[in-house]
Amino acid sequence: MPSIYVAVLADYTNGYHHGKWIDATTSVEEINEEIDKLLRTSKYPNVARQDFHCPSCHKEWHRDLPITHVDHDCPHCLHYGNAINEPYPSAEEFAIHDYTDFFDLDLGEYPSIKAVFEAASGIATNGEIYAHLRSDGFDHDKALDEIDDNFRGIYDKLSDYVYELAEDSGDLKNIPDYIKDHIDWDDVARDMEINNLRTYKMETRDVAVFINR
């Protein structure tokens, strides 16, 4: 399951390692809640924080002291919200110091939580191929489109895909075996890869095949 290791910067800069692993596939709200809980347990709090609740849409949010009038406004529906606790000490800043099950996708130390959740859910749903596309420059939506439209499967080697393609197309029907047996499928595959295909080497060393439009 794609997870992030969140470290509290106030503790880190004081030479103390304080952090935890958080499941990144839940939701933006839940990931933020887990981070807030972690920040509250810092040994080096640097803000006083208060939680608010919206009586209209039932969302919760927090604000740091000093609280002013506008801090009561619900960020979702702008209804006037109520403080639900006394101010409590908390650390303010965090960084993501490690990722697990994100394959080679590198989001850095300070991505938005939305970006983290998108990537994690993309991987949870589509697996390693999603991570390859993202590392290759596709944004989240484009990666999902690419998988829907152009993904052709995962093969032991690219020539297996090319042979299957030729066979399914019926092009091999009229070629006698004494010729067919001598076709260099690796060579055909190399040629197609240059012009018509995008491939990614999987961790298993299998190859993921996409067609290039």
Contacts with Zn ion by CB under 5 A lie at 54, 56-57, 74, 76-77, 79
- DSSP H helical ranges for 56-176: 113-126, 128-135, 140-150, 158-169
Minimum distance, C-beta of residue 79 to Zn ion, in the bound complex (Å): 5
DSSP three-state, residue 76? coil
The string over 90-112, giving b where at least 16 C-beta atoms fall within 10 Å of a residue's C-beta and e elsewhere, is bbeebebeebebbbebebeeebe
CB of 58 vs Zn ion, minimal distance in Å:
7
Q: How far is the CB of 207 from Zn ion (least distance, A)?
A: 49
Q: Among residues 118, 114, 112, 113, which one has the least CA distance to residue 133?
A: 118
For the bound state, the minimum distance from the C-beta of residue 39 to Zn ion, rounded and expressed in Å, comes to 23
Q: Which is nearer to Zn ion, 10 or 54 (CB)?
A: 54
Residue with smaller CB distance to Zn ion, 57 or 84: 57
- Give CA angle at 206 (24, 5), nearest 5°: 20
To the nearest whole angstrom, how small is the minimum distance from the Cβ of residue 86 to Zn ion? 22
Dist CA 6 CA 23 (whole Å): 11
The residue among 79 and 180 lying less far from Zn ion, judged by its C-beta, is 79
Handedness of CA 157, 158, 161, 163 (dihedral sign): negative
Among residues 76 and 140, whose Cβ is nearest to Zn ion? 76
CA angle 165–167–169, rounded 5-degree value: 70
Which is nearer to Zn ion, 53 or 198 (by Cβ)?
53
